[in-house]
Amino acid sequence: MPPEEQSEQLRRLPAVDRLLRRPALASLLQSCPRQVVTGAARAVLGELRRELASGRRQEAPPLATIEAMVEGRVRQLVQPGLRRVINATGIVLHTNLGRAVLGSAAHEALALAAAGYTNLELDLATGERGSRQEHVARLLTWLTGAEAALVVNNNAAAVLLALHTLARGREVVVSRGQLVEIGGSFRIPEIMAASGARLVEVGTTNKTYLRDYEQAVSAETALLLRVHPSNFRLVGFTHEVGTAELVALGRRLGLPVMEDLGSGLLFDLGVPALAAEPVVCSSLAAGADIVTFSGDKLLGGPQAGIILGRERFLAPMRRNPLARALRPDKLSLAALEGTLRVYLDPEAAKRELPVLAALLLPPEELEARARRLCALVSRAAHGRAAVRVRAGHSEAGGGALPGVTLPTFLVEIRPQGLSVETLAARLRRSEPPLIARRLKGALALDVRTLLEGEEALVARILAACLEER
């Protein structure tokens, strides 16, 4: 571009004052801090100036476009980024949608801890410094029979802390079939490398026998590790060594056995689809010395990593400086304590913890809810979509519970004169955003994950998105 043309384009960029008099920005100034609007205007103009000067942009955009750019920038700042969404996917533990929905006991505990001072680290009996771990450790040991408990930020941190404390610079023996990748971000081999422990893989991807572990043990071995392969399932011609068998070997060789259970099902819920999920109490009863799991998967609480087991192994973890870096905050601890207290009555836990309640919804109830929602949505659609109830399956948890599917009822929506992609995108941009499931040529709403009172809201959102032309 000739230099005179370039300076002409630069001159066309408006002054900040002129931009702020445009109607959309003038109206934003009524509700947003002035510094934010002027700051956004300066930032957008600065970027345009640099793009024009460097030749990456040939022409100054029209004033209305610049106005919209500034308005967009302001909205990004002043609107909450983390928002409530409606989960109509049927995936109870959806990592992208924040995994477990907390129960009311956890909400109450959270609100208390957030709004005021607490005895987080004060022993009220003695007036001395107390432990933030005490509040949840009491409940965890009572509920599971474990000798000791320690809570960190998430299960990845729990595995890291355990391996760093017990096996740094030494070897950990793991079955090759259990070297899992979870949600694309948790890989046992990488966590192990970060902990300084050396991985010794035994067996093949589908078969590992006790003798494989035995042959791999050397003077360098610190730990025998079992990992529950939560996000994929080996089917068919397989063999794995059970916890009790591995514990027997560990005892004979004088080596601790650790289990990373992942999902943290505290007790057997009697859901056939969860029959293959490991149960925390059973792993401890089988003799595992250290057990780790997440707080926000099947336990139904906040993000946390829970370590249970023998005090002899947990005490050095507490003293590890990493424990300070990985310690949970008061809000997580409050929500976890609130959740755990519900488990004191297992029947109450099944009713009151949203994760368990959603997994345990009986088919008749799901069908009745789907029929109610179908009637509301049909009416709202005004003939702009074909709406019907059909049977289907819910995935219990995207990456968290692979292969666990539960029968459910779906409200299927086939938009007329509108593509499924367009409708799905409009639903995502609604307020609140509605996340539906995609089928071939249709969208589906799985009632399993709709929360109380959301049905009418779903119908209203659909009406607006189908109407928009």
Ligand X SMILES: *Cc1c(COP(=O)(O)O)cnc(C)c1O
156 touches ligand X by CB under 6 A: yes
From residue 243 to residue 282, the character string flagging contacts with ligand X as x (rule: CB under 6 A) and all else as - is -----------------x-xx-------------------
In whole angstroms, the minimum distance from the beta carbon of 232 to ligand X comes to 11
Please say which residue, 278 or 415, places its beta carbon nearer to ligand X.
Answer: 278
Among 294, 332, 394, 449, binds ligand X (CB under 6 A): 294
227 touches ligand X by CB under 6 A: yes
Per the listing, tokens 């966590």 go with 191
Please say which residue, 142 or 232, places its beta carbon nearer to ligand X.
Answer: 232
Q: How far apart are CA 395 and CA 401, in angstroms?
A: 8
Please say which residue, 63 or 179, places its beta carbon nearer to ligand X.
Answer: 179
In whole angstroms, the minimum distance from the beta carbon of 158 to ligand X comes to 8
288 touches ligand X by CB under 6 A: no
In contact, 59 and 1? CB cutoff 8 Å: no
Among 38, 89, 195, 230, binds ligand X (CB under 6 A): 230
For residue 428, the 8-state DSSP code is H
In contact, 293 and 299? CB cutoff 8 Å: yes
154 touches ligand X by CB under 6 A: yes
Q: Which of 131, 146, 121, 193 is nearest to 312 (CA)?
A: 146
In whole angstroms, the minimum distance from the beta carbon of 121 to ligand X comes to 24
Please say which residue, 37 or 140, places its beta carbon nearer to ligand X.
Answer: 140
For residue 14, the 8-state DSSP code is P
Q: Would you list the DSSP string of 301-365?
A: SSS-EEEEE-HHHHHHHHHSHHHHHTPPPHHHHHHHHHHHHHTTSHHHHHHHSHHHHHHH--HHH
Please say which residue, 73 or 228, places its beta carbon nearer to ligand X.
Answer: 228
283 touches ligand X by CB under 6 A: no
Paired tokens of 174: 């793991």
Of all helices (H) and strands (E), which one includes residue 412? strand 401-415
Give alpha helix (H) positions in 232-307. 243-253, 280-285
Among 41, 160, 182, 333, binds ligand X (CB under 6 A): 182
- End-to-end CA distance of the chain: give it in Å, rounded: 40
In whole angstroms, the minimum distance from the beta carbon of 186 to ligand X comes to 4
Using CB under 6 A, list all residues that contact ligand X: 154-156, 182, 186, 227-228, 230, 260, 262-263, 294, 305, 400
